[in-house]
Amino acid sequence: MKAFIVKRYGKKEKLQLTDIAEPVVKENDVLVKIHSAAVNLLDSKIRNGEFKMILPYKTPFTLGHDVAGVIIKIGSDVSKFKVGDEVYARPADYRIGTFAELITMNENDVALKPKNLSMEEAASIPLVGLTAWQALVEKGELKKGQKVFIQAGSGGVGTFAIQLAKHLGATVATTTSAANIDFVQSLGADIVIDYRKDDFEMILKDYDVVLNSQDTKTLEKSLRVLKPGGKIISISGPPDPGFGQQINANWFLKIVLKFLSAGTRKKAKRLGVNFSFLFMRAQGEQLSQITKLIESGAIKPVIDKVFPFEQTNEAIAYVEMGRAKGKVVIKIQ
């Protein structure tokens, strides 16, 4: 089958379109014929080698973390799906590889695709949808009537997180540049701050939850918009000791992770707020909940651009520019 593989780590390295062996279907696996994939900054960071310490993929390997397609074979112990089901997923770490014609995934990481979405739309959802869910529902425990600050409302995570937070009944503040103000308002944002012109710290006060996705300076300012007891969940670092446990890190990496977030945790403690780092994980059950929200119309996909399979490198380069409005998708079938 055809796949875009990382042959060598490096910022300037391009993925190479190669013929590789078809994946082997294990007892609990489904084999999916991929119709569409989506690009995430994680793909580019992994290719650059920035994640080598926490996700040590051995080259050559196929990249890609979002998929929508059709099940063409199931393992002997699969109970939730059958051949012909249209599904979508964020495959688990170490089982990635959606920039390809086929992928196998454990059935627990997969969900039925929302019936009202095309394959391209469905592929745009899993990674960012699960990130928003795990940040706002699981860690943030965001409730009706609470106030949440979601940075970068026009990005992949932001566009989904705003809609999810509104569905949960929260008041949503977000940052974006002037050109995207109307757009994030149309997604439901109540308070929109132009990050190039205004300082969100001067405007937002007593927030219950912050979803942090930007740099350290933004993270530190965000600690101060929370009310005492409020929660900040960061998806852009620094990784915390809980993450070390999640990935079963060795003792050395655990110490490094503890050290990296020590300053932030200390500042959060002084302000009486709760800091945690989130590295999203594959989760078919949560994705099934997301399917329901999409089918009910509560959440809509937002796609900036669709690239043909041959232009996978161009799709990654487009995302790397940091200006995407929603998601970038790759059409494979």
Ligand X SMILES: NC(=O)c1ccc[n+]([C@@H]2O[C@H](COP(=O)([O-])OP(=O)(O)OC[C@H]3O[C@@H](n4cnc5c(N)ncnc54)[C@H](OP(=O)(O)O)[C@@H]3O)[C@@H](O)[C@H]2O)c1
**Which parts of this chain interact with ligand X (CB under 6 A)?**
40-42, 131, 151-152, 154-158, 175-177, 180, 195, 213-214, 235-236, 278-280, 319, 322-325
Beta carbons within 10 angstroms of residue 275's beta carbon: 24
* Alpha-carbon gap, residue 289 to 294, rounded angstroms: 9
Q: Which long-range contacts (CB under 8 A, 24 or more apart) does 304-309 make?
A: 304/328, 305/329, 306/120, 306/330, 306/331, 307/331, 309/2, 309/99
Query: In the complex, which residue's CB is closest to ligand X?
Result: 155
Task: Please give the sequence-ordered ranges of beta strands (E in DSSP) within the chain, or none if there are none.
Answer: 2-6, 16-19, 29-39, 61-62, 67-74, 86-89, 102-106, 110-112, 147-150, 171-176, 191-194, 207-212, 226-234, 274-277, 303-308, 327-331
Q: Which CB atom, from 36 or from 175, has the smaller least distance to ligand X? A: 175
* Alpha-carbon gap, residue 179 to 184, rounded angstroms: 10
Residue 31 C-beta: closest distance to ligand X, Å? 26
* Alpha-carbon gap, residue 296 to 155, rounded angstroms: 23
Q: Which CB atom, from 178 or from 255, has the smaller least distance to ligand X? A: 178
Q: Which CB atom, from 9 or from 195, has the smaller least distance to ligand X? A: 195
Q: Which CB atom, from 235 or from 287, has the smaller least distance to ligand X? A: 235
Q: Which CB atom, from 35 or from 325, has the smaller least distance to ligand X? A: 325
Q: Cα–chain-centroid distance for residue 312?
A: 18
Residue 180 C-beta: closest distance to ligand X, Å? 4
Residue 38 C-beta: closest distance to ligand X, Å? 10
Cβ–Cβ < 8 Å for 299, 281? no
Q: Which CB atom, from 199 or from 285, has the smaller least distance to ligand X? A: 199
Q: Which CB atom, from 280 or from 306, has the smaller least distance to ligand X? A: 280
Residue 177 C-beta: closest distance to ligand X, Å? 3
Residue 45 C-beta: closest distance to ligand X, Å? 6
Total residue count of the chain as it appears in this document: 333
Element (H, E) at 204: none
Residue 158 C-beta: closest distance to ligand X, Å? 6
Q: Which CB atom, from 131 or from 291, has the smaller least distance to ligand X? A: 131
* Alpha-carbon gap, residue 224 to 245, rounded angstroms: 28
* Alpha-carbon gap, residue 69 to 35, rounded angstroms: 5
Cβ–Cβ < 8 Å for 133, 195? no
* Alpha-carbon gap, residue 135 to 151, rounded angstroms: 13
Residue 85 C-beta: closest distance to ligand X, Å? 26
Residue 217 C-beta: closest distance to ligand X, Å? 10
